[in-house]
Amino acid sequence: MDLKDSTDQAAFRDEVRAFIREHGAKAKMPAREDFESGWSREARDRQKGWREAIVDKGWVAPAWPKEYGGAGMSAVEQFILNEEFAENGLNNVGGFGVMMIGPTLMVHGSEEQKQEHLPKILRGEVVWCQGWSEPGAGSDLASLQTRATRDGDEYVLNGQKIWTSGAQHADWMYMLARTDPDAPKHRGISLLMFPMTSPGVSVRPLINMADNAGFNEVFFEDVHVPVKNRVGEENRGWYVGMTLTDFERSGIGSAVGTQRQLERILRHAKERPSEQTVLDKNKSWRLQMADRWVEADIARLFSYRNITIQARSMVPNHEASMSKLFTSELGQRIAATNLKLYGLHGTIWDRAREEAEHGMAAGGYLGAVSSSIAGGTSEIQRNIIATRGLGLPRG
């Protein structure tokens, strides 16, 4: 396999590197509080300079077609952009707006919806959250029960969502609600959008076991949503929702991030005074670290495979699940390896103490647990690989 850039790709990579050299410093590295607060508005504001530089360059939505204000990049250019950003620990600024609801509006939205929302998403003005999961509907999402009852030119919404990332800071939500309770479960769902300030919406933060306020419960009590805020046809929301394609499915961001994380752990291992580490007492730690290093390379190769599929204008399917499964579980193994580096100090989880990265090693270990649940659990990924990849019957 030839992984070298073509001449054009190399020129584009140089352009991205020059952009990062000029503007990268404006992206203030997120503080621990930024993670713990679930990216508050203040945390976002600290990234303002970086966001504006990307907006001016027209790179907020690399994969969107130019007619909608995107950069119209090929899959490979997009990959190069994300790879270079990730190499430098930088994020793009789009969030759910660019990745999810924007592309959906392009395909299924009315002209009015596109005019209203796409420019604001591109300017990073509106923060979106995704109301999919409910207490009784996660992996089996089509079982969702939140009701939207039609009343003239409005829907009246009642029910509850859960695990809604960033809802406490979001301006708008897009969500799935049941509009026909008598239809077969996939056929009675519609996709609605509304401001989080709508009367009847209340948000209750959930603190995860790593003490981060990343996600929330969201309750709806007689929330009035104009019918014009429905995306696509009534009762076809399941199919509209399922076209919410992540335009950057390769997973390169997390694969590169994984390698950066390992480099950081290695640096710490070499810098720490030996009495605070297990480095020279526990040879098995070195072997673990070597395993993680090999696995990080494998994660990167999964990304290259996905991008090769996309470059042929195909959509990675069970291949994306393989990458997600491997990379999210690798993140957990890395967090465990990092924790072990500090021996008993690894159990200290207090930012006022300097041991174990001010408690970050323990916090990271706890935080990593959710990665194999978010975005589809590992079991669901394995089911996809077994059925679509290996052709095995459904269990």
SS3 at position 152: coil
277 and 267 Cβ atoms separated by less than 8 Å: no
39 binds ligand FAD (CB under 6 A): no
In the complex, residue closest to ligand FAD by CB: 138
| Cβ at position 4, least distance to ligand FAD in Å | 37
Buried/exposed code over 186-203 (b: 16+ C-beta within 10 A; e: otherwise)? eebbbbbbbebeeeebeb
- From the number of C-beta atoms within 10 Å of its C-beta (0-12, 13-18, 19+), residue 330 rates as buried
Nearer to ligand FAD by C-beta: 71 or 142? 142
**Site mask for ligand FAD (CB under 6 A), range 356-375, x = bound:** --------------x--xx-
| Cβ at position 322, least distance to ligand FAD in Å | 16
Among 132, 172, 194, 302, binds ligand FAD (CB under 6 A): 132
Among 215, 285, 342, 349, binds ligand FAD (CB under 6 A): 215
100 and 174 Cβ atoms separated by less than 8 Å: yes
**Site mask for ligand FAD (CB under 6 A), range 298-337, x = bound:** ----------------------------------------
| Cβ at position 198, least distance to ligand FAD in Å | 18
Gap between the Cα atoms of 231 and 192, Å rounded: 6
386 binds ligand FAD (CB under 6 A): no
174 and 159 Cβ atoms separated by less than 8 Å: no
- From the number of C-beta atoms within 10 Å of its C-beta (0-12, 13-18, 19+), residue 134 rates as buried
Maximum CA extent, the chain: 72
SS3 at position 277: coil
Q: Which two tokens stand for residue 356?
A: 């174990």
Considering only the stretches 26-34, 131-139, 308-316, 325-333, report the one whose residues sit in contact with ligand FAD under the rule CB under 6 A. Answer: 131-139
130 binds ligand FAD (CB under 6 A): yes
Nearer to ligand FAD by C-beta: 78 or 216? 216
**Site mask for ligand FAD (CB under 6 A), range 140-179, x = bound:** -----------------------xxx--------------
Beta strands in the chain (DSSP E): 128-131, 147-151, 154-162, 172-178, 189-195, 201-206, 215-226, 230-231
Nearer to ligand FAD by C-beta: 198 or 276? 198
Task: Please give the C-alpha separations between residue 279 and each of 2, 260, 273, 337, in angstroms, as whole numbers.
Answer: 37, 20, 10, 11
| Cβ at position 89, least distance to ligand FAD in Å | 21
Chain residues binding ligand FAD by CB under 6 A are: 130-133, 138-139, 163-165, 214-215, 370, 373-374, 376-377, 379-380, 383
